[in-house]
Amino acid sequence: MKLLRSLDELSATERGGAVAVGNFDGVHRGHAELTARLRAQARRVGGPAVVFTFDPHPAWILRPQSAPTPLTWVDRKAALLAELGVDVMVAYPTDEALLNLTAREFFDRILVGALGAKALVEGTNFCFGHDRTGTIDVLRQFATEAGIQLEAVEAVRFDDDIVSSSRIRTLIHDGRLAEAGRLLTRPYRIRGLVRHGAARGGKLGFPTANVDGVDTLLPGSGVYAGRAWVKGTPWPAAVNVGPNPTFGEQALKIEAHLIDFHGNLYGELLELDFAAQLRPVKKFAGLEELKTQLAADVQQARTIVEQMD
């Protein structure tokens, strides 16, 4: 997979294939179906399977006060799409110039001119161009005139509802990570730097890494089973997201206990996969009750992580 951040970086072999445009936030089951069709179209035209996406999401420029918190960062999105067989991902720097392109200009300059698309694959609700005036029907008209085949892909449904990034975002916000994971192609992941904390966990026998600077959506408050990645090595983990009411702290924190890990993590970039919520955050009557619960959390987390893919 080639990750590009400028159309000027495209080589001749990275043009002239099948193209899909979209945010692809989270990379879920619906995206997997769309990329499967994209790969098939790429084989048909004898070119690469190309995803053109935006960095940041256009909503952060158009309506920042209501823009959705992202589910994936650019490199993570590229890695997930690579697993689905995408050859090239263009993470185009979103700016006013791009957003002001009319649907016709976007088609002519980006899809045909820069990407040299020979086939297009989009969802049936796809919109493009200034003020989203370009619908899938408009795109079909442009494509037909240019001799380019357009394949429109119906939304994927799971548990009697459409799979979408907004649906997944709601589940994550509500702490329903097991349900969110069934809609994603991989467990939900966040990343951040390990910073110094109060060091209470170590005194209790359960040292934790305090993760700071997360730039994607945080799960709702709770204790979770998950997997921590340290320099590419996975460790089962029990992760607390939220306040620490037992010690009178109301600030939201992300504290991960890496099961069986021994070492210094300060300053390290830590990535955390979430499998399922174990329990809500609660206030304990004393340290012994807390330690007993932490031991149970760790054992349950270990069991759940052993069943992760």
pLDDT at 198: 62
Torsional class of 145: left (φ above 0), alpha (ψ -120 to 50), beta (otherwise) = alpha
Q: Answer whether residue 95 shows pLDDT above 60.
A: yes
pLDDT at 71: 98
Q: Answer whether residue 250 shows pLDDT above 90.
A: no
pLDDT at 192: 97
Chain centre to alpha carbon of residue 283: 32
C-beta separation of 277 from 297 below 8 A? no
C-beta separation of 101 from 24 below 8 A? no
Look over the chain and give the mean of its residue pLDDT values, rounded to a whole number: 94
C-beta separation of 258 from 206 below 8 A? no
pLDDT at 37: 98
Domains in the chain: boundaries: 2-161, 187-306
2-161, what's its fold?
Rossmann fold (3.40.50)
What percent of the chain is modeled with pLDDT above 70?
96
Strands 157-158 and 233-244: unpaired
pLDDT at 55: 96
264, burial (CB in 10 Å: exposed 0-12, middle 13-18, buried 19+): exposed
Per-residue pLDDT band at 203 (split at 50, 70, 90): low
In the DSSP assignment, the letter for residue 112 is: I
In the DSSP assignment, the letter for residue 167 is: H
pLDDT at 308: 84
Structure tokens at 151: 């394949």
With CA atoms as reference, report the closest residue to 58 among 95, 31, 21, 20.
95
Q: Answer whether residue 243 shows pLDDT above 90.
A: no
Structure tokens at 235: 């460790």
Instruction: Write the CA distances from 252 to 35, 108, 142, 267, 273, integer angstroms.
Output: 37, 47, 49, 20, 18
Q: What is the pLDDT of residues 107-124, one digit of tens each?
A: 999 999 999 999 999 999
CATH number of 187-306: 2.40.30.30
Q: What is the pLDDT of residues 31-80, one digit of tens each?
A: 999 999 999 999 999 999 999 999 999 999 999 999 999 999 999 999 99
Instruction: Write the CA distances from 230 to 212, 247, 256, 266, integer angstroms.
Output: 15, 28, 12, 11
Per-residue pLDDT band at 287 (split at 50, 70, 90): confident
Q: What is the pLDDT of residues 157-180, one digit of tens each?
A: 999 999 999 999 999 999 999 999
Per-residue pLDDT band at 205 (split at 50, 70, 90): confident
Q: Across-strand partners of 236?
A: 227
Cis previous bond, 68, omega within 30: no
pLDDT at 201: 59
Q: Answer whether residue 200 shows pLDDT above 80.
A: no
